[in-house]
Amino acid sequence: MLVGQGNFVSVYSATEFYKDPNFDYDVYIFHRPNTARGNFLQVLRHLRMAGKTLIADYDDLIFGDEEIALQSSAAKNRTLTPEKAIAAFRSNLSGLREFDKVTVSTAPLAQRVKMSNPDADVSVVPNIIPPSVLSIHGELETHLAPRPHTAIGYFAGTKSHDRDFPVVADALHRVLMENPDFTLMIIGPVVVPPALAALPNVSTAPVVNFLRLPGLMTLCSTVIAPLEMSDFNACKSRVKFLEAALSGARLLASPIPDMQASGTGRLELMESLDDWYEALSAPVKSVDYKPKAEENFEFLRSTAHVDGLTTFWSES
């Protein structure tokens, strides 16, 4: 999108950029910067002296004190030891404090930035589906594809959701036991309770590339996005809604703020286990859901821009 607006854009891995930095650009956006990387502070100092615009960018709460670090999915799922999680959050916090301009994907994340770096100028730039992806699925009418009306899908991109899936596991087990014609497809490296995994109408598969997700989601009438309610998860974005809307599936989600901001008319927010059970028990027919699927896809089209980002850096 930035290239289409006439900008010259390059994407570097952090490792390569700090090893061999390029100082020829006007604006530099550092995604998840942290001071543990070699040459980090030296590169930032050189860029500041050259009058460049420097922006830190975050799509998750990865900075903060010990309490927040121990709430993170990496700590709870033991991807990192508590000591390493605390060290990582401390290093990311130091990186954040090197910037006076910050972009984030959600409003709660913006509040967290202001708490940690009060003098920073912070802008919320919501996650979107890029026009290049939308145009393909618009032509294919992926969101209107017919699908089994009793098919449920759960798509976990990483192992970080091992503490989130239990939010809905009991409701899923009950619904699938009571309705043997219902099916549940689980994609990704999440731990599934043995009693649920043993059901004949449950299937599992490894994580897939993002570009394959819409096609897989067209096999489902309902997609679920359960999250354990915590300060960490409250900062997460509506990305699961974007994916479901692209595929034309109904989304049932935990009520984190960014999901609420998407509009309750576009998805269904589950406040309790009973909410999950009642919503999962209700089959969704493609013909009935078609108007909502079209409305959600148009929402994706209307938000497919980065005007907030370009306005933010032009104010420098």
Per-residue pLDDT tens digits for 122-131: 999 999 999 9
Residue 296 contacts by C-beta under 8 Å, 6 or more apart in sequence? 143, 244, 245, 248, 266
* Predicted pLDDT at 218: 96
In a domain, 8, yes or no: no
pTM, 2 dp: 0.93
Domain of 119 in residue numbering reads as 14-125
d(CA 158, CA 177): 27
Residue 11 contacts by C-beta under 8 Å, 6 or more apart in sequence? none
pLDDT tens, position by position, 99-112: 999 999 999 999 99
**pLDDT(54) > 80:** yes
Same domain, 118 and 257: no
Collapse the DSSP code of 151 into the 3-class scheme (helix H, G, I; strand E, B; otherwise coil) and give the result. strand
In a domain, 69, yes or no: yes
Domain boundary, last residue among 75, 106, 125: 125
**pLDDT(316) > 70:** no
In a domain, 7, yes or no: no
In a domain, 263, yes or no: yes
pLDDT tens, position by position, 173-214: 999 999 999 999 999 888 899 999 999 999 999 988 888 899
